[in-house]
Structure formats: structure tokens, C-alpha cells
Homo-oligomer: A and B are copies of this chain.
Amino acid sequence: MSVADLLLEGDPRAVARAISLVEDDAEAGRTLIGQIYGHTGRAYVIGVTGAPGVGKSTLVDRLVSEARRAGRTVGVLAVDPTSPFSGGAILGDRVRMSAHANDTGVFVRSMATRGHLGGLAAATSDAALVLDAAGKEIVIIETVGVGQDEVDIVRTADVSIVVLVPGTGDDVQALKAGIMEIADIFVVNKADRDGADQAVSTVIASLSLQTFAEGEWRPPVLKTEAVNGVGVDRLWAEIQRFREHAANQQHDRRKASHESRLRGLLAQQLLEHVEKRLPPGEFDRLVEAVANRKTDPYSAAARLMSRALDV
């Protein structure tokens, strides 16, 4: 049987192999997605993001327990920046997931954050498709940070959860992260710490500056203590409430994500096409000319276009 067939039966080794394929962005990965794509679109994708140190991994671990209690199978993708210092995925976080190590209804995978030819967001999106095709009903994507990559990843989720903690910097800076706009649900984790109520108030105050239309979802702000399991049942309930509320918009949201995905893929394939058609060394010669100020980057790009496409 092929990897695709085994994967569609939910075989965990096939799932692992398939994610490696899409991570390496090999031709085989693209072929695989083509084979399984018709079996996707059923999983509900939960994005969880926040700065390092807010306790995302523990929170995700607890969310997995809630999902299991509700009888759902779960796939987790942890997008951790890989550092040569840590030697790949961070041990500390994944060890906590060992609570689910013997549960065949749970599949956990760390994604490397570099080395993806097609970009991290693309690889993560494909990995989520793999989990979806393998029958996981809930897919949780955990990302660190607030850069464009993370925003792109979280945008592909059906619901986006932003995790904060009390007392990181002053209030203004806690809100500076640029992720306020993408949150469907806010979580103030480590809520046993001083300043938890103030953090909640600050987020609510910020939301009050925004205008919500009649019937529009207004992101709730929840307190959790993930390490003690406090408040996670409430978070799970709010996720379900959002899912019902947003059922009508889900198609549009997914369509926007498909559009951005398609645009990115097209850009990548166009670049490959052009580089094949350029005379050997042409690209490097123009890079050198830009570095030496003999031409500017825009003129150089226009010249590459005309050389490759006869336009």
C-alpha cells in the first residue's frame, strides 16, 4: 500500500512519513497532497499563538485532554523555531505531551522552522492537511512569536487563540504584538500571577476601542492556569461557541486562506521557471551589479524578467 493509502487509514507511521515529505517540499510531497486533498477539509483547525514563555505548550496539552474527553481525535503541530543551540525541536515542551504518548487518538509533531523551500506557512498548512486526511477531527497548530510567518499560519486556522501572561512589560507593550487583530479568543494564562485581572482589563479596554457590528463575534478574554488545568474547560467551551457562531463565515475564511496559498505557490513555481531559463551565472552577475551600485534592485529585477520571459 502507498503512503497515501496508509495515511487515509490513519496509520501513524504513514502520517509521520507524510509530514516529513511535505516538510522537505519534495516533488513527492506535492504528489501526496494531490492524492489526499479530496479527503481533507473535515478537520477543525485551532491556532494557538503567543510570545515565548507564556505557556502555550502546556495549554495545548490541556486542550488535547479536553478534546479527547469530548471524544475527538487530535493532531498537534508545534511550530518551534529550531536553533542549532537546542538541536532541533525543544525537548522540554514535547516531554509534557508524553501524557498522550500512549493514546492512539493523538498525534504530536514538531515542525522545523527553517529549511522549507516553499516557506514555513506552506509546510505547516500541508502538514495540517495530512492530519486532516488521516482522520484527526481537531488539528491544533501552536506557533511562537508574532511575525508574518506566524500570522500567515494562524490565518489558516478556523479559530485563532492568542495567549498572553500577566506582567510582561507595561500594558502598552503587551498589546504591541500585532496579533490583537487575529485573535478570536484571548487567553491570559498563568492567571495565578499578580496582575492577571489587570491584563484582562487591558485587553477588554483595547477591544472596546474597536467597533463590532450587530451579531459580530466579540473575542472573549479568558483566564487560565494551564499547569493546574484551571480554566481550560471554559476555553474549550468558547472554542465550540465560536465554531457555531462562525459556521457561516468558515467558508469565506478558508477561501481567503486558499487564495493566499495559491498565490504563494504560483510565485514559487514562477521563480523556479525563470531561474531555469536564465543564462548560467546571469542571476549572480546582477546580484554583484546591485552590490556594487552599478544598478538598483528594481531595475535588476525588471531585467531578469525580460531575459527570462521575453517581455
Task: Mark A residues whose CB is within 8 Å of B.
Answer: 30, 33-34, 37-38, 40-41, 51-54, 80-87, 90-93, 113, 119-120, 144-151, 168-170, 172-181, 206-207, 209-210, 251, 254-255, 258-259, 261-263, 265-271, 273-274, 283, 286-288, 290-291, 293, 295-302, 304-305, 309, 311
A168 touches B305 (CB 8 A): no
Which residues from chain B contact A92 at a C-beta distance below 8 Å? 170, 172-173
Which of B38, B258, B273 is A287 in contact with, Cβ under 8 Å?
B258
A262 touches B290 (CB 8 A): yes
A81 touches B146 (CB 8 A): yes
Given contacts A37-B293, A146-B145, contact A174 B53 (CB under 8 A): yes
Which of B146, B170, B265 is A297 in contact with, Cβ under 8 Å?
B265
A266 touches B301 (CB 8 A): yes
Q: Which 3 A-B pairs have the closest CB atoms?
A: A147-B147, A81-B178, A53-B169
Which residues from chain B contact A173 at a C-beta distance below 8 Å? 52-53, 90, 92
Which residues from chain B contact A302 at a C-beta distance below 8 Å? 269
A262 touches B291 (CB 8 A): no
Which residues from chain B contact A288 at a C-beta distance below 8 Å? 255
Choose among A53, A113, A261, A274 the residue with the greatest number of B CB atoms under 10 Å from its CB: A53
Which residues from chain B contact A30 at a C-beta distance below 8 Å? 298
Which residues from chain B contact A54 at a C-beta distance below 8 Å? 169
Which of B81, B87, B177, B266 is A177 in contact with, Cβ under 8 Å?
B81
Which of B51, B83, B90, B206 is A52 in contact with, Cβ under 8 Å?
B51
Which of B80, B168, B293 is A38 in contact with, Cβ under 8 Å?
B293
The residue on B at minimum CB distance from A305 is B269
Which residues from chain B contact A270 at a C-beta distance below 8 Å? 267, 270-271, 274, 305, 309
